[in-house]
Structure 1
Amino acid sequence: MSRLRAYVRSIREELKHEIEASLDGEYTPKQVAGSFALGVFITSLPTLGTGFLLFIVIAYVFSNVSKLALFSSVIVLNPPVKWGVYGSSFWLGSLLLGPVGGVSRSDISLSAAPEVVVRLLLGNFILAVVFTAVGYVVAYRLTAAYRRRNGESGIIDGVM
């Protein structure tokens, strides 16, 4: 049991070190926040698993993207949370475009009728934009506060 605790503690310390390195690293708070927000946007959309591949391409092609911030967005919108997002997306799309006769939230899927898919995608896109904006602000403020607390305020590039 103590060996398991030691292993968990070492993982936790390594993760903490990686997060602090990302926040202290070569990226500005705007780059960290932008990377996180981009990840939130992609993760919010119904990419059917291709979002992760897109993350890999983005991380490889763009040097100014914080890889840790980009990939950490998956934690926020993990698979169980996404089902709630999809239900909310359909509700929002139906609110804006009108209901689809004979369809309930339990019928939502990308294989459903085109009317359902349009409402799902419209609502999902709107929620993705909102989540992205909120994610950017939160990531920026957390990164800036972390750097101020650690005496790195000269690096922070002004107020958003």
Structure 2
Amino acid sequence: MIRRRAEAAFGRAAAAVRRSFTEEHTSRETAGSFSVGVFITMLPTLGTGLLAFVALAWLSERVNRIAMFASVIVFNPAVKWGVYGASFALGTAILGPVPGATPATVSLAAGPGIVARLLVGNLILALAAAGASYVVCHRLVSAHAIRETSLAATVADAVPVTVDDGDASRDGDSSR
């Protein structure tokens, strides 16, 4: 029973991905949706970025929801710590070190300087990642459309799905 439910969920997800890539959205809409998702996900929104995803998906029919939410998989919480570290380093390189703050003695008074460097670096990295993700996603979706192969079919070929519900008539046994 659990296996059938999982297979049904996989089938629905595969159909949604197939429709998303081929019927519902152009390659530019898919790439734009993923790019916007990358930009929002990289910002230090403390989880409110998902609310922005829902609002964007509700406001526009042109948003490819699957592509936008896929960015959360790419920039998951484990990856974001590295993004924040790189953002702070980039912000410090641009704005200079935080006055009066050393790694050994950081006080609350240095908070605004640290946050400013984090936000400046993060905004620059988010813009760069969004641009790069648009180009990569657009090329992948365009190549997918040119080859006319279904992503879901490719996944289904790689992961064979069989239904075993104990019904002998499905196994080719028609001797009953």
TM tier relative to shorter chain: 0.7 to 0.9
Deviation at 1:143, TM superposition (A): 0.7
Structure 1, gaps ≥5 residues long: 152-160
After TM superposition, list the pairs within 5 Å mapping 1:86-97 onto structure 2. Answer: 86-97=84-95
Partner of 1:154: none
Does residue 1:26 correspond to 2:17, yes or no? no
Q: 1:42 aligns with which of 23, 40, 43?
A: 40
Q: 1:112 to 1:34 in 2, by over 3 A?
A: farther
Partners of 1:4 and 1:81 lie apart in 2 by 32
Could you say which structure has the larger radius of gyration? Answer: 2
Partner of 1:79: 77
Deviation at 1:27, TM superposition (A): 1.1
- Note the alpha carbon deviations across 1:24-47, whole angstroms, 9 max, x for none: 122111111001101111111111
Give the TM-score taking structure 1 as reference length: 0.81
Partners of 1:59 and 1:130 lie apart in 2 by 23
Matched to 1:15, the amino acid is A
The alignment partner of 2:24 has SS state of coil
Q: 1:150 aligns with which of 137, 148, 156?
A: 148
After TM superposition, list the pairs within 5 Å mapping 1:100-111 onto structure 2. Answer: 100=98, 101-104=100-103
Partners of 1:144 and 1:64 lie apart in 2 by 17
How many residues align? The count is 145
Deviation at 1:6, TM superposition (A): 5.7
Give the TM-score taking structure 2 as reference length: 0.74
